[in-house]
Every structure is written in structure tokens, then in C-alpha cells.
């Protein structure tokens, strides 16, 4: 029998074995335990925290329906979670399709919840009905108490299976008392990375949820410390307070923020906005409390209305002469705005499902906001004048920047060589393997150019400290040679024109000296990337090189070390004689090309720190405070944190 015939016979045998017995049907919650990532995104810390939001969202849905005004979250000493709400309490009557109490069904059946059809909730944050059952499936234990109609009910579960069927544990409870208390302990077999909750992650989202649901009180308590901590969030003004929170420490054009609320065809729209004297714009949009990072139709509706209303008012008041029209970017300079809508049937699109696609959301947001904003401008002419004036100044700067921008288009290698930035490009044209080192000073730049791998590594030396972009308009930024050559080298465009797909390098490595000046330049560069090239950070393209501080030599033994602590450890392992020679590197310029390559640039040996953006809202507050024009908040920050500084290079 030939090889071909043997192979055909083997295939036929395998094919006949592939029958119904090999088709695995995952029943109920087994599917969740098998593929948890499908239901909670991942089994990392993010997925662990997602469990809390699934239960909290149920309480918030009760608040949106008008039955709940308080939610309490407790992190227990063993990292289990208790969530209590004073909503109606999960129904306990028999669910006719399953023949089991509704309470049991909610925690054991996927896609069972009051969020389908028109019965339970008009608007809801979670729309898949998977919340409670998924949390149950991924916990070693879960127990739930429900108080409703004068009785308290209890049941508990073990790895998603019923342990104690539903029973009445208390009768004669006041009719005024109602609500649900859920306690669960995440399963370490599922969450192998960590089962420890981060209190900051929980607190930030709880603060955000209380901003987005005015009047709702949410508390968070951490019982893991010796002294338990408890925080309470309760904002009667809702997102108006969110805008104040985002603008803390900044100079504002008017106070309090504008707040608009209305309903159109079942869609509730809330908008709050305030202008600052700065150049940045912060726009945060939400749908049913979900942060729509990628924007969508509600964002488009808001932007369109804002631009149209300001232009209309400017013409009517005579501030805008002739055919002058302010663009969207002009009217959004210095704007901080939060747009929050509640939609009965949201359709999300985009890669991360954080972009709203409903066309009626655009119409509703535009209609409600433009009507009320136009009225506000008519009633407050002084404030309106300031807003139009700010847009006009931005427009002048934009025209100046447009001229400068033309220079930053990367067209050819020849053109680049004439740039003031002295870019030494790499020979590979594959961005995946290309790295751009931004090096402080010409001397270090020279060593880096000699020592680099020409195929993959490009070098851009920058002289001195670049412009602080937090304090400058676009015209000044683009007039700066160092920044312009950086924009050009990257090839991505910047700000609103930024396109990550055009990036010439997928690694952008900041390589500065390990001293105060180096740290300052690094901060100025990070401010620039955060403000004008944020996707470089969010996609994980920005790195910080970690050059060594010391070289230790003893005979033929040579070792580079990055910290004083590591130096001590190395010295402890060496013989006292001959005496080890310690060289302290004050700057990269002190290293020759070979040393720089083997310590800081060689992909096999170097240490790089990747720059991540964990908390966008926190970053939005920190950058203006540390890098902006107001001295007071910065002084306070330095006074509070000075005591934590170690090894200050004086």
C-alpha cells in the first residue's frame, strides 16, 4: 500500500470517529468557567474588578428605574466582596419557564434577567443578562439575602451550583425595608494572576458612577487594613460636579459649569461643560454609565451643536465679522465637557465596543443641547462673549499653525536629512521592528549613532529642554524646531490629525541622562506625547530607557548597575582585594559607543520601562497641575510630596 493510500485510510478512520460524542455541549455555567474571557474580558486584574461592576450595575439599574438611592460596596478582609442595595430586591416568585424561584434563575441561568423585552427595566447598563450568573460561576462561594414584602430570603452557591436552596430566614420585616445583599469570593483557579482587589481602581469607578447617577449615594469600605477606610460619594448635581472635579486647580472662564438635561423619544441626555483659560480640551462621553472611549453618535451630536450654536451667536452679536467661521477645534479649545446619555437600546460598535452607533442618539443630543445652550448664551452675554473670543483666538493660532504644519510632512529621506533635528534614520522600512531613540544632547547622540543597530534603530538628538506644551498654543509648538523634527520623523501627524497607522516606528524610546535635567526633559516629552500623540501611549509604543548609573570593575570582572541598592549588592559579593573600581556615569555622553550599546540599546541586554496610561481622568488633572501656568496647586503638590523624595541629584 502506497503512502498516499495509507494517509487516505487514516483520514477516513479519523473522520468516522468524529461523531456526536465528540461534540461537547457546555451546559449553563460550565461554559463561563471554560471561557471566562468571553464574559468578563479577561482573567487578569481587569476581569477580577469586572465582577464587582456586574453586581453594582444591578443596583444602578434599580436606581435608574427609580427604586434605589444607596449602594454599599465592602472589600472584606479575605478579598471577598459584599454589595448591598436598597432597590426592590430580586424577585423570589417561581419563574414559569424554569419552575425555579427567580432568585435562583438569575444566579444560575445565563441570559436570564429583567433587561429583555419591556418588562423589567427601561434603561440598563448591562444588557446581556449575564451579570449575576457569571459572577456566581467564577466564585468559589456566593450568598445572597433578599428583603422584600416583609420577609428576608437567603440562598447560597458553591462554584455556581446551588448549595442551600432559597429559604425564608426572617419574617415580619418592615414593609419599608427592601433590597439585595450579594457576597462573593472570586475563584483563584480562574483568577490566577491575582485575587487581590485594588482599592483605587474600585474607588475611581465608584466616584465616576456617582457622578453619572445624580442623587445616588455609593459607599466603598475597605476592611483589609487594621483601620478600615470608608468613602462616601453622593452628588446631587451629577455630571456638573464631574466637570468641576476634572477642572480642579485650573483657571476657569466662568463658574459654575453649564448643565443641560432633557429627554427626546425615550433618550435622556445630560451635558455639562465649562471652559478653562488653557488650550486643552477634555470631552468624556457615556452611554448608560458605560464610558464610550471611542465616542460615537452622541459625541458627534454634541460637537455639531456646540460649533453651530457658538457660530450663530457670534454672528448675531457681531463678534464674528464677514465670512469668519470657527471650526470644531476652535470652539473646543479649553473646553471640559461630560456628555451622558441613557438609551433604552444602545448599539455599540468599534473594536472595543465602546463606540455608540445609534443615529437617534445624535439627533437627541444635538436637539436638547443646542436648544438649551443657545438659550444660555442669550441670557449670559458676558460669558458668551468670552467663549466666542476664546474660539477666535484659537482660530488665529490655527491659521498660523497650518503654515508651520506643512513642514512636518515626511516626504523623503533627503528632506529629512535637512531637518534641524539631525535624524539618523534606520535602514529598515518595517515600522514593527523600527525603534526611534530620542537622545539628550549631541554628544550622547554621536555615541548612539555609532553604537546602534543601523537596520532597526534610528537616533534623534534633541538639544536642551523642549517647549512645555501645556503652556503653549499650537502656533508656538509648531514654531519649535525640536518638536517639529520629532513630529516629522514619526510621520503620524499630531493632535486631531494623528494617525497611528502611519507611525514610522513602533518603539519610541526616551533616552535621557539619569539626573534632574534628564528627568525634566523626559517629563516635557511625555507631556508632548500625552497631549498630541496619546495613541502612541495607549498602544504601548512609548518606552523609557534605563541607562546604568555605575560601572564596577575588578580585574576582568565588569558589571553595570542601575541603582545604589544594586551597587551595594554587587560590592558585597566581590573580594576586598584588589579594590573594585566604581565609575559613576553622570550622563550618557560619558559612555563610548560600545558601552552605550551593551548597556542601554542592545535588545538582548537593555532594560526598558513601558509608559502606560492607567487612569485618563487622573492624568487629565495631574498634567495641568504639574505643567500648567498656575503656581499655587504645583507648590502645594511639592510641599506635600517633598518628604517622599530620595536620592535628589543636587
Q: Which of 646, 615, 634 is nearest to 291 (CA)?
A: 615
User: Residue 512's pLDDT is what?
Assistant: 87
261 is in an annotated binding site: no
User: Residue 156's pLDDT is what?
Assistant: 95
- Of the residues 57, 62, 85, 440, only one is catalytic, namely 440
**Phi, psi angles (nearest 5°) of residue 436:** -110, 120
- Confidence label for 327 from pLDDT (cuts 50, 70 and 90): very high
Angle at 372 between CA 367 and CA 375, to 5 degrees: 130
pLDDT in tens, 96-127: 777 888 888 889 887 655 543 444 555 555 44
Average pLDDT, the chain: 83
Q: Is 187 a catalytic residue?
A: no
pLDDT in tens, 41-99: 788 888 899 999 999 988 998 888 888 999 999 999 999 999 999 998 988 888 777 78
- Of the residues 187, 330, 333, 513, only one is catalytic, namely 513
Q: Which residues pair with 271 in a beta bridge?
A: 260, 339
350: left (phi over 0), alpha (psi -120 to 50) or beta: left
User: Residue 543's pLDDT is what?
Assistant: 93
Q: Is 3 a catalytic residue?
A: no
Q: Is 425 a catalytic residue?
A: no
All 3 cell numbers of residue 599? Answer: 548597556
143 is in an annotated binding site: no
Residue 576: partners with Cβ closer than 8 Å, 6 or more residues away = none
Q: Which of 279, 373, 388 is nearest to 324 (CA)?
A: 388
Which helix (H) or strand (E) covers residue 71, if one does? strand 70-75
Q: Which segments of 380-515 does DSSP mark as H helices, in order?
A: 381-405, 413-417, 442-451, 474-479, 481-490
Q: What does the pLDDT average to over 144-149?
A: 93
pLDDT in tens, 614-640: 655 566 667 666 776 667 677 777 777
- Sign of the CA dihedral running 58, 63, 305, 265: positive
User: Scanning the structure block, which residue is given the C-alpha cell 432597590?
Assistant: 87
Angle at 281 between CA 535 and CA 405, to 5 degrees: 65
User: Residue 24's pLDDT is what?
Assistant: 41
Q: Which domains, and CATH codes, for the chain? A: 27-234 (3.30.565.10), 236-397 (3.30.230.10), 421-546+584-612 (3.40.50.670), 614-649 (no CATH)
End-to-end alpha carbon distance in the chain? 84
- Of the residues 261, 312, 515, 566, only one is catalytic, namely 515
Q: Is 255 a catalytic residue?
A: no
- Confidence label for 497 from pLDDT (cuts 50, 70 and 90): confident
CA–CA gap between residue 213 and residue 185 (Å, rounded): 27
- Of the residues 312, 517, 590, 598, only one is catalytic, namely 517
Angle at 607 between CA 606 and CA 611, to 5 degrees: 135
Peptide bond into 173 cis (omega under 30): no
Q: Are strands 335-342 and 355-356 parallel, antiparallel or unpaired?
A: unpaired
Q: Highest mean pLDDT range out of 38-42, 81-85, 511-515?
A: 81-85
- Confidence label for 609 from pLDDT (cuts 50, 70 and 90): confident
User: Residue 644's pLDDT is what?
Assistant: 62
Contact 182, 83 (CB under 8 A): yes
* 332 pLDDT above the threshold of 90: yes
Q: Which of 461, 446, 458 is nearest to 593 (CA)?
A: 446
What's the gap between Cα 174 and its chain centre? 44
Q: What does the pLDDT average to over 393-402?
A: 78
CA–CA gap between residue 526 and residue 469 (Å, rounded): 10
Contact 649, 586 (CB under 8 A): no
513 is in an annotated binding site: yes
Amino acid at each position: 500500500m502506497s503512502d498516499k493510500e495509507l494517509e487516505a485510510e487514516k483520514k477516513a478512520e479519523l473522520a468516522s470517529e468524529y461523531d456526536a460524542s465528540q461534540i461537547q455541549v457546555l451546559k449553563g455555567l460550565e461554559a463561563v468557567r471554560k471561557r471566562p474571557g468571553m464574559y468578563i474580558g479577561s482573567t487578569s486584574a481587569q476581569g477580577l474588578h469586572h465582577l464587582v461592576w456586574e453586581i453594582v450595575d444591578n443596583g444602578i439599574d434599580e436606581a435608574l428605574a427609580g427604586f434605589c438611592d444607596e449602594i454599599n460596596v465592602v472589600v472584606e478582609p479575605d478579598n471577598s466582596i459584599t454589595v448591598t442595595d436598597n432597590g426592590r430586591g430580586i424577585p423570589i416568585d417561581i419563574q414559569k419557564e424554569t419552575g425555579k424561584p427567580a432568585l435562583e434563575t438569575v444566579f444560575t441561568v445565563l441570559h436570564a434577567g429583567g433587561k429583555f423585552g419591556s418588562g423589567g427595566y427601561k434603561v440598563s447598563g448591562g444588557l446581556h443578562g449575564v451579570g449575576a450568573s457569571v459572577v456566581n460561576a467564577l466564585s468559589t462561594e456566593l450568598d445572597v439575602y433578599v428583603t422584600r414584602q416583609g420577609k428576608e430570603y437567603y440562598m447560597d452557591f458553591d462554584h455556581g451550583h446551588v448549595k442551600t436552596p432559597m429559604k425564608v430566614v426572617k419574617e415580619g420585616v418592615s414593609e419599608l425595608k427592601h433590597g439585595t445583599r450579594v457576597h462573593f469570593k472570586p475563584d483563584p483557579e480562574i483568577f490566577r494572576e491575582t485575587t487581590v482587589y485594588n482599592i483605587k481602581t474600585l474607588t475611581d469607578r465608584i466616584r465616576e458612577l456617582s457622578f453619572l447617577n445624580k442623587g445616588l449615594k455609593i459607599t466603598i469600605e475597605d476592611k483589609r487594613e487594621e483601620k478600615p477606610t470608608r468613602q462616601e460619594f453622593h452628588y446631587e448635581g451629577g455630571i456638573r460636579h464631574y466637570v468641576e472635579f476634572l477642572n480642579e486647580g485650573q483657571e476657569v472662564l466662568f463658574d459654575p459649569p453649564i448643565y443641560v438635561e432633557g429627554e427626546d423619544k425615550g433618550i435622556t441626555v445630560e451635558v455639562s461643560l465649562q471652559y478653562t483659560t488653557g488650550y486643552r480640551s477634555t470631552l468624556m462621553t457615556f452611554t448608560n454609565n458605560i464610558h464610550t472611549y471611542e465616542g460615537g453618535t452622541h459625541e458627534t451630536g454634541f460637537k455639531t451643536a456646540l460649533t453651530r450654536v457658538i457660530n450663530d451667536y457670534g454672528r448675531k452679536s457681531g463678534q464674528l465679522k464677514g465670512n469668519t467661521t470657527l471650526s470644531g477645534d476652535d470652539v473646543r479649545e479649553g473646553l471640559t465637557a461630560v456628555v451622558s446619555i441613557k438609551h433604552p437600546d444602545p448599539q455599540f460598535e468599534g473594536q472595543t465596543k465602546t463606540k455608540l452607533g445609534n443615529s437617534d442618539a445624535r439627533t437627541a443630543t444635538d436637539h436638547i443641547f443646542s436648544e438649551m445652550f443657545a438659550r444660555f448664551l442669550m441670557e449670559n452675554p458676558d460669558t458668551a462673549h468670552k467663549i466666542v473670543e476664546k474660539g477666535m483666538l484659537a482660530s488665529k493660532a490655527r491659521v498660523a499653525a497650518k503654515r508651520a504644519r506643512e513642514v512636518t510632512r515626511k516626504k523623503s529621506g533627503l528632506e529629512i536629512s535637512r531637518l534641524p533635528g539631525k535624524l539618523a534614520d534606520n535602514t529598515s522600512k518595517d515600522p514593527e521592528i523600527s525603534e526611534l531613540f530620542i537622545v539628550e544632547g549631541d554628544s550622547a547622540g554621536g555615541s548612539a549613532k555609532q553604537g546602534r543597530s543601523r537596520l532597526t534603530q534610528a537616533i534623534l538628538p534633541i538639544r536642551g529642554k523642549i517647549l512645555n506644551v501645556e503652556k503653549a498654543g499650537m502656533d508656538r509648538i509648531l514654531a519649535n524646531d525640536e518638536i517639529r523634527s520629532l513630529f516629522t520623523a514619526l510621520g503620524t501627524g499630531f493632535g486631531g490629525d494623528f494617525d497611528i497607522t502611519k507611525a514610522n516606528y513602533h518603539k519610541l524610546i526616551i533616552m535621557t541622562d539619569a539626573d534632574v535635567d534628564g528627568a525634566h526633559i523626559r517629563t516635557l516629552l511625555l507631556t508632548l506625547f500625552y497631549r498630541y500623540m496619546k495613541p502612541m501611549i495607549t498602544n504601548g509604543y512609548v518606552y523609557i530607557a534605563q541607562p546604568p548609573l555605575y560601572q564596577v570593575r575588578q580585574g576582568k570582572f565588569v558589571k553595570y548597575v542601575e541603582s545604589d541598592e544594586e551597587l551595594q549588592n554587587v560590592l558585597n559579593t566581590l573580594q576586598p582585594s584588589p579594590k573594585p573600581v566604581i565609575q559613576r556615569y553622570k550622563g550618557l555622553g560619558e559612555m563610548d559607543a560600545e558601552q552605550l550599546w551593551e548597556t542601554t540599546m542592545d535588545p538582548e541586554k537593555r532594560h526598558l520601562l513601558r509608559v502606560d496610561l492607567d487612569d485618563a481622568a487622573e492624568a487629565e488633572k495631574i498634567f495641568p497641575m504639574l505643567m500648567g501656568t498656575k503656581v499655587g496647586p504645583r507648590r502645594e503638590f511639592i510641599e506635600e510630596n517633598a518628604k517622599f523624595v530620595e536620592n535628589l541629584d543636587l
